């Protein structure tokens, strides 16, 4: 009851509970602000709420502070509530009840006993003088309350000998004569055996040992060395020190590597390429001291500016002073930053422009959105509008009416691939931009955002946290450029919405309501603050990825499980626009039959099953029924004449092998790489524990470089990256969204440098443009590791094969689906099969449990997802 009242208080006072940095509060007080609702960001549960995320985080920080001050704890104790405690039994006997029906009594007695026990430890000196203590109580919902206790003892009472330890705890095997059964049970189930056959290891060496530490790094990389000179030899060059050899292997990181990369691009590329590279470093936050890098490289960064000015002014004798050249270079960098929604002013450590008055808007984000040519937008709108079918036209008119009348309706456009959702987004965008209004186009994935005019990913546009929970809010604060942009937006379109966890959409809705109160005091009571929001997607596709989540967890995470769905108006697109492309009747019939079969797969109508898993048959013309070497056969089908086609960009542009897991993807890519002639170039990452974990006092002795190097997780490049010229690769991070370099973009390797990799786009419109990808500091989110670490590596991976999840949003002409194991989540098979428009471009190789090719596989569909639409 008490907790319910506290929750009720927080719910009724969401408008006044906020969080922000102390500096921001002091600045507001200094300005004389009296309304705190415009300071900081909105939160849901403050740290004062017991059990909340902020409460647990603060307690964790307190515990880590104790570890930092006093070192490791001396004793770790556990205590669990016992329902046979006399106090509980006495009460049960009076009431004639059982302990399992009175958890309140068990919890109260447990808390009283725990406090008394802590009092014995701290004041009674049961184990000696206690200088610090901390405990946490677990409610696991599968048993009684359970506490973990940590004690720090005074140096005079520490247990420094075996005798001292035996005086407080004893663990020994039971007497086999007196207790034979107990002895057998303990021997069988409570004794650890050898953990593997490899027992060799390198001793821990701290960073401050310098050359010895660098020697340890080299010993874990260099193979077949018989002397110290061999250890210090990299690419045939013998270096004078271990550190220099490590630097040559790119194992150290640091700003010097980025400086070397800039100088390398100066030799390989144009002046604009150099400035784009520097901008990529700024956007990625890779530079520890951007001003120092600028000071050392500004002359290189200004390459070509004097030449272009002379050409522009038709004056070959033009002379520019160093200060003027610096300003022109900073202006060029600022222009590149503006294309990505940033300003040079956002990096105060960098030198600034002397006169930034050339900017017509103070808000660069709004300036970019209002920069569209209204005449061009109107022409495009008229051309698109005339081609809308009946369903699209109905949706178009409903959305336009909502925007014009400020109805603030939440729409969801439901339609499978080919029904013209993207076409509708474009038509709406052209309509409102021709009127000088702002339309924000976002998508849940980087690839989908590239298909939208002025598209961005939802995470970057709305500041969504990478790790979401029920209480998450966006990182957008009031009275900022982003909040002003959201207030000014007339329409927000969110494509591929079913891909993202509903907590992300709820976090955005919660933040938008808070932001809109700046212009409408009643906005806090309106869904999305009264904005018209259009979501789109296909629930047949892959739903939000929940690591180690159950079927119920995945269904619970979808947008149609959100409370917001009750207010959503669903509009359906069912007409397949791809059928109108070809004038060939037989071709249209083939496409129509193929589309119907794929829809039946997505709807789970093939076969019959109650648990969501159905065995389906693959048609003969698609299925590969005979195969001996499965990997080789699927590669031969998708990449015939591979060696002869290496220089043909179009060959790789429209084909890929899809696999259900990353392990299978890596196996296929390694095989294809082995077929390509020539030596590969190997790039090793530099992996380090992040500053936050260092400050928490985590022991580095068990976090060795090899431990970090071995970590593999989705979205993170491997420690070892092997590439060859002409190999197709995929970006794993958003590098430069304005230039089309976003997560999932497929590229071709054209140049392998030391500190940068030259790549070209696969698309016909961009395949002549060469860009340079640098190494970046990448921090995995949601990785199954107990520490936070960063990996300095090229955000790339080979993509002859890719995972099914990664292929969502891609459109290909030739797909080979390789299934040595069946799909395991809703929509995976549907996504894989629907990457192609025509059945002629699809081949499926299914491997059964005995390793033979077969024609049947498992399809996973959760029908409860469709019942909510």
Name the least confident of 43-47, 398-402, 752-756, 775-779.
Answer: 43-47
Residue 842 pLDDT greater than 80, yes or no: yes
Any domain includes 647? yes
Beta strand pairing call for 814-819 and 842-847: parallel
Residue 310 pLDDT greater than 90, yes or no: no
Q: Are residues 264 and 232 in the same domain?
A: no
Any domain includes 721? yes
pLDDT at 55: 84
How far apart CA 561 and CA 470 sit, in angstroms, is 13
How far apart CA 757 and CA 747 sit, in angstroms, is 11
Q: Are residues 129 and 235 in the same domain?
A: no
Please give the backbone phi and psi of residue 810, each rounded to the nearest 5 degrees, phi first: -85, 145
Q: Are residues 125 and 148 in the same domain?
A: yes
Any domain includes 654? yes
Do residues 80 and 146 lie in contact, with contact meaning Cβ atoms separated by under 8 Å? yes
Q: Tokens at residue 819, please?
A: 């299934």
Which of 749, 777, 795 is the last residue before a domain boundary? 795
What pairs with residue 494 in β-bridges?
A: 442, 535
How far apart CA 713 and CA 787 sit, in angstroms, is 14
Identify the band that residue 306 occupies on the pLDDT scale cut at 50, 70 and 90: confident
pLDDT at 702: 56
pLDDT digits (tens, 9 = 90+) for 51-96: 787 888 888 888 888 888 888 899 999 888 888 899 999 988 888 8
Identify the band that residue 398 occupies on the pLDDT scale cut at 50, 70 and 90: very high
Closest CA to 488 of 469, 464, 512, 470: 512
Q: Are residues 672 and 686 in the same domain?
A: no
Identify the band that residue 200 occupies on the pLDDT scale cut at 50, 70 and 90: low
Calculate mean pLDDT across residues 160-187.
Answer: 83
Residue 763 pLDDT greater than 80, yes or no: no
Residue 198 pLDDT greater than 60, yes or no: no
Calculate mean pLDDT across residues 679-697.
Answer: 73
Q: Are residues 278 and 236 in the same domain?
A: no
Task: Say how many CA atoms lie within 13 Å of 855 toward its Cβ.
Answer: 9
Residue 201 pLDDT greater than 70, yes or no: no
Calculate mean pLDDT across residues 771-792.
Answer: 79
Cα dihedral 303, 307, 312, 315 sign: positive
How far apart CA 492 and CA 685 sit, in angstroms, is 39
pLDDT digits (tens, 9 = 90+) for 582-639: 566 777 788 888 889 999 999 988 877 667 789 999 999 999 988 889 999 999 999 9
Residue 381 pLDDT greater than 90, yes or no: yes
Q: Are residues 278 and 408 in the same domain?
A: no
pLDDT at 744: 86
Any domain includes 199? no
CA angle 135, 137, 143 (to 5 degrees): 145
How far apart CA 279 and CA 344 sit, in angstroms, is 10
How far apart CA 408 and CA 514 sit, in angstroms, is 15
Identify the band that residue 782 occupies on the pLDDT scale cut at 50, 70 and 90: low
Any domain includes 6? yes
Which of 530, 547, 575 is the last residue before a domain boundary? 575
DSSP for 699-736, written as a single string: -TTSS-HHHHHT---TTS--SEEEE-TT-EEEE-S-SB
Residue 757 pLDDT greater than 60, yes or no: yes
Do residues 721 and 823 lie in contact, with contact meaning Cβ atoms separated by under 8 Å? no
Any domain includes 815? yes
Which of 336, 359, 382 is the last residue before a domain boundary? 359
Closest CA to 457 of 208, 659, 677, 734: 734
Type and span of the H or E element at 726: none
Contacts of residue 416, defined as CB under 8 A and 6 or more positions apart, other chains included, come to 538, 540, 576, 599, 602, 834
* Of 170 and 88, the one with more pLDDT: 88
Calculate mean pLDDT across residues 346-365.
Answer: 71
pLDDT digits (tens, 9 = 90+) for 116-149: 999 999 998 888 899 999 999 887 666 688 899 9
Q: Are residues 546 and 612 in the same domain?
A: no
Any domain includes 172? no
Q: Are residues 109 and 64 in the same domain?
A: yes
How far apart CA 167 and CA 152 sit, in angstroms, is 17
Q: Are residues 527 and 439 in the same domain?
A: yes
Identify the band that residue 172 occupies on the pLDDT scale cut at 50, 70 and 90: confident
pLDDT at 359: 44
Contacts of residue 363, defined as CB under 8 A and 6 or more positions apart, other chains included, come to 481, 484, 485
Q: Can you tell me which residue has the tokens 């005086």? A: 167
pLDDT at 666: 94
Any domain includes 554? yes
* Of 456 and 200, the one with more pLDDT: 456
Helices (H), 303-457: 305-313, 322-339, 364-369, 374-385, 390-404, 421-434, 446-450
Do residues 343 and 330 lie in contact, with contact meaning Cβ atoms separated by under 8 Å? no
* Of 562 and 784, the one with more pLDDT: 562
Q: Can you tell me which residue has the tokens 């980087």? A: 446
The whole-chain average pLDDT of the chain stands at 85
Contacts of residue 4, defined as CB under 8 A and 6 or more positions apart, other chains included, come to none
Q: Are residues 36 and 149 in the same domain?
A: yes
CA angle 466, 469, 475 (to 5 degrees): 50
Q: Are residues 227 and 272 in the same domain?
A: no
How far apart CA 10 and CA 601 sit, in angstroms, is 46
pLDDT at 358: 44
464: buried, middle or exposed (CB in 10 Å: 19+, 13-18, 0-12)?
A: buried
pLDDT digits (tens, 9 = 90+) for 645-664: 888 888 898 899 999 999 99
Identify the band that residue 696 occupies on the pLDDT scale cut at 50, 70 and 90: very low
pLDDT digits (tens, 9 = 90+) for 248-262: 888 877 888 889 899
Total structural domains in the chain?
Answer: 6
How far apart CA 205 and CA 682 sit, in angstroms, is 26
Which residues constitute the domain of residue 351?
255-359
Whole-number CA gyration radius for the chain: 31
Q: Are residues 486 and 628 in the same domain?
A: no
Question: Quick one: what percent of the chain has pLDDT higher than 70?
Answer: 90
């Amino acid at each position: 009851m008490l907790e319910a009242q506290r929750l009720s208080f927080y719910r009724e006072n969401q408008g006044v509970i906020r969080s922000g940095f102390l500096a921001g509060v002091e600045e507001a007080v200094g300005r004389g602000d009296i309304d705190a609702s415009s300071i900081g960001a909105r939160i849901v549960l403050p740290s004062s709420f017991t059990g909340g995320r902020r409460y647990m985080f603060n307690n964790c920080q307190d515990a880590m502070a104790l570890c930092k001050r006093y070192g490791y704890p001396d004793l770790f104790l556990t205590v669990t509530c016992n329902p046979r405690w006399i106090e509980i039994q006495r009460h049960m006997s009076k009431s004639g009840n059982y302990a399992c029906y009175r958890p309140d009594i068990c919890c109260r007695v447990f808390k009283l006993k725990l406090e008394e026990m802590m009092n014995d430890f701290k004041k009674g000196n049961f184990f000696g003088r206690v200088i610090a203590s901390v405990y946490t109580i677990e409610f696991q919902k599968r048993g009684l309350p359970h506490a973990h206790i940590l004690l720090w003892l005074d140096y005079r009472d520490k247990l420094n000998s075996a005798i001292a330890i035996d005086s407080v705890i004893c663990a020994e095997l039971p007497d086999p004569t007196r207790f034979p059964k107990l002895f057998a049970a303990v021997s069988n189930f409570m004794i650890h055996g050898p953990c593997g056959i490899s027992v060799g290891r390198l001793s821990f060496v701290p960073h401050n040992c310098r050359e010895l530490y660098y020697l340890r790094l080299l010993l874990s990389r260099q193979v077949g060395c018989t002397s110290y000179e061999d250890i210090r030899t990299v690419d045939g060059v013998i270096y004078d020190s271990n550190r220099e050899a490590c630097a040559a292997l790119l194992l150290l990181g640091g700003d010097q590597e980025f400086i070397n990369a800039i100088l390398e691009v100066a030799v390989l590329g144009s002046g604009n390429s150099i400035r784009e590279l520097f901008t990529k470093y700024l956007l990625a936050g890779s530079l520890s001291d951007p001003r120092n890098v600028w000071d050392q490289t500004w002359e290189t960064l200004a390459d070509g500016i004097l030449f272009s000015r002379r050409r522009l002014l038709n004056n070959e004798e033009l002379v520019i002073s160093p200060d003027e050249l610096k300003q022109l270079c900073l202006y060029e960098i600022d222009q590149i930053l503006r294309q990505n929604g940033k300003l040079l002013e956002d990096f105060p450590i960098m030198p600034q422009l002397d006169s930034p008055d050339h900017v017509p808007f103070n808000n660069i984000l709004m300036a970019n959105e209002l920069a569209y040519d209204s005449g061009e937008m109107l022409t495009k709108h008229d051309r698109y509008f005339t081609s809308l079918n009946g369903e699209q036209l109905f949706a178009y008119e409903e959305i336009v009416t909502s925007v014009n009348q400020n109805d603030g309706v939440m729409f969801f456009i439901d339609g499978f691939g080919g029904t013209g959702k993207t076409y509708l987004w474009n038509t709406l965008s052209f309509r409102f931009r021709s009127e000088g209004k702002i339309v924000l186009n976002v998508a849940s994935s980087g690839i989908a955002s590239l298909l939208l005019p002025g598209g961005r990913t939802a995470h970057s546009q709305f500041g969504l946290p990478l790790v979401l929970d029920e209480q998450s809010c966006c990182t957008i604060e009031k009275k900022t450029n982003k909040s002003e942009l959201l207030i000014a937006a007339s329409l927000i379109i969110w494509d591929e919405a079913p891909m993202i966890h509903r907590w992300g959409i709820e976090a955005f809705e919660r933040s938008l309501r808070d932001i809109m109160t700046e212009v409408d005091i009643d906005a806090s009571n309106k869904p999305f603050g009264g904005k018209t929001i259009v979501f789109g997607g296909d629930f047949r596709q892959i739903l939000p990825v929940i690591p180690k989540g159950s079927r119920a967890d995945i269904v619970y995470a979808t947008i149609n499980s959100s409370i917001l769905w009750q207010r959503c108006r669903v509009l359906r697109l069912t007409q397949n626009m791809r059928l109108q492309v070809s004038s060939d009747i037989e071709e249209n019939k083939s496409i129509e039959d193929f589309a119907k079969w794929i829809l039946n797969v997505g709807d789970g109508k093939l076969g019959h099953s109650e648990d969501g898993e159905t065995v389906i048959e693959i048609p003969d013309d698609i299925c590969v029924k005979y195969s001996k070497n499965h990997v080789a056969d699927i590669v031969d089908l998708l990449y015939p004449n591979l060696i002869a086609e290496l220089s043909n960009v179009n060959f790789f542009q429209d084909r890929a092998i899809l696999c259900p897991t990353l392990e299978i993807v890596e196996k296929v890519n390694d095989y294809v790489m082995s077929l390509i002639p020539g030596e590969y170039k190997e790039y090793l990452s530099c992996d380090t524990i992040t500053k936050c974990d260092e400050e928490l006092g985590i022991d580095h002795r068990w976090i060795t470089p090899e431990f970090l190097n071995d970590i593999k997780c989705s979205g993170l490049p491997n420690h070892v990256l092997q590439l060859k010229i002409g190999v197709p690769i995929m970006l794993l991070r958003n590098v430069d969204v304005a230039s089309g370099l976003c997560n999932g973009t497929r590229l071709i390797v054209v140049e392998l440098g030391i500190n940068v990799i030259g790549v070209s786009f696969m698309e016909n419109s961009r395949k002549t443009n060469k860009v340079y990808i640098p190494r970046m500091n990448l921090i995995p989110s949601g990785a199954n590791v107990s520490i936070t670490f960063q990996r300095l590596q090229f955000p790339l991976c080979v993509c002859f094969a890719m995972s099914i999840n990664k292929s969502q949003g891609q459109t290909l002409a030739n797909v080979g689906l390789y299934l040595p194991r069946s799909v395991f989540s809703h929509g995976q098979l549907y996504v894989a099969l629907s990457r192609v428009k025509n059945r002629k471009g699809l081949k499926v190789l299914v491997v059964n449990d005995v390793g033979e090719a077969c024609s049947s596989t498992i399809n996973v569909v959760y029908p409860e997802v469709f019942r909510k639409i």
